[in-house]
Amino acid sequence: MLSIKDLHARVEETTILKGLNLEIKPGEVHAIMGPNGAGKSTLGYVLSGRDGYEVESGSVEMDGKDLLDMEVEERAQAGLFLAFQYPVEIPGVSNMEFMKESVNALREARGEKSLSSAEFLKKAKEACKQVELPLDFLKRGVNEGFSGGEKKRNEIMQLIMLEPKLAILDESDSGLDVDALQVVANGVNSQRDGKRSFIVVTHYQRLLDYIQPDYVHILSKGKIVKSGGPELAKEVEASGYAWLAEAEGADA
């Protein structure tokens, strides 16, 4: 469903992704781990089409379509979702109208009818309940004054509402305590239906205790340097990322 081939991308003058390859089939969960500065967040931004992240070469196809040729909103309409590491505060727009606009934009793109206010509200209430966010969060400005954990749960609430084909979770675990981590993980796991795919980007193995990946990839200096099953995450947990430097030393 997602095919990334030899992707090179840069921010301003610095090339961050240097030949990244990744194949994801429907229903699979791929974890991408790596040290700070490896290019983990860049991957999410490049896939979502953020301004300033320029693709130098390579290709990305989603469901056989050229993802890189689409506008940011078209990628979302095609089924891509990015859960932000640092969700953005939009004080003057309520969470409710934000989500309603978004849900209906995606439904329209899929050729489905817009939800009525009542239908939307029902769905939104269920999603809030699932990530343990009080209902009054719907009335508040998007992420306005939310704690770090609340912002992360709000991202997962959106994931549940938007039903993407592919969700990229960018460090959805950072800054969470164990209880909040559990809530986030449960929210994500509830959306695993055998068809929806996930890229779980994380620095630590901890999140992967709760969200079991099918594959684990180690990203270093803009490429995937090692791939394996869930056991690879355990190795990282045990030995950290120091071995990367050694391996690279050996390469040279």
Partner 1 sequence: MSQWLNHVLERASTVDDWLSPVRAQALDTLKQQQWPTRRTEAWRYTSLHPVADLELKSGTGNVTAEAPIIEGLNSLDLVFVDGQLSTDISKLKLPEGITISELSAPSEPAEAIFAQVKPSRHLFGLVNDVLAQQGVVIDIAANAKVEQPIRIVNFASAGIESHQRTLVRVGENAQATIIEHGSGSGNSLNTVFAEYDIAEKARLEHYRFALHEGEAIHIGGSHFKLHDHARLNSTLIGYGSQLTRLDVDIEHAGEHAFAKFNNVYLLAPRQHFDLHSTIEHASPNGTTEENARGIIGDRAKAVFNGRIHIHRHAQKTLAELNNRNLLLTRGAQINTKPELEIYADDVQCAHGATVAEIDEEALYYMLTRGIDKQQALVMLNFGFVQEMVFQMPNKALADWLQPILKTRFESMMEKQ
Interface segment toward partner 1; rule CB under 8 A; list 10-18, 19-27, 100-108, 205-213: 100-108
Q: What is the DSSP string of 71-122?
A: -HHHHHHTTEEEE-SSPPPEEEEEHHHHHHHHHHHHHHHTTPPPPPHHHHHH
C-beta closer to partner 1: residue 81 or 146:
81
Min separation Cβ 186 and partner 1, Å: 22
Q: Does 102 sit near partner 1 (CB under 8 A)? A: yes
Contact flags string 205-234 toward partner 1, x per CB under 8 A: ------------------------------
> How far is Cα 163 from Cα 65, in angstroms, rounded to an integer?
19
H/E run at residue 43: helix 40-48
Query: Of residues 29, 84, 152, 208, which one binds partner 1 by CB under 8 A?
Result: 84
Query: Does residue 51 interact with partner 1 by CB under 8 A?
Result: yes
- Would you count residue 154 as binding partner 1 (CB under 8 A)? no
Calculated CA dihedral for residues 135, 138, 141, 146, nearest 10 degrees: 40
Residue 216's CB is within 10 A of a number of other CB atoms, namely 25
Measured from the CB atom, the residue of 42 and 48 that comes closer to partner 1 is 48
Interface residue with partner 1 among 105, 115, 121, 225 (CB under 8 A) is 105
How far is Cα 96 from Cα 194, in angstroms, rounded to an integer? 29
Give yes or no for residue 43 binding partner 1 (CB under 8 A): no
Segment interacting with partner 1 (CB under 8 A) among 34-42, 74-82, 208-216, 232-240: 74-82
User: CB–CB of 138/128 below 8 Å?
Assistant: yes
User: Which CB sits closer to partner 1, 153 or 223?
Assistant: 153
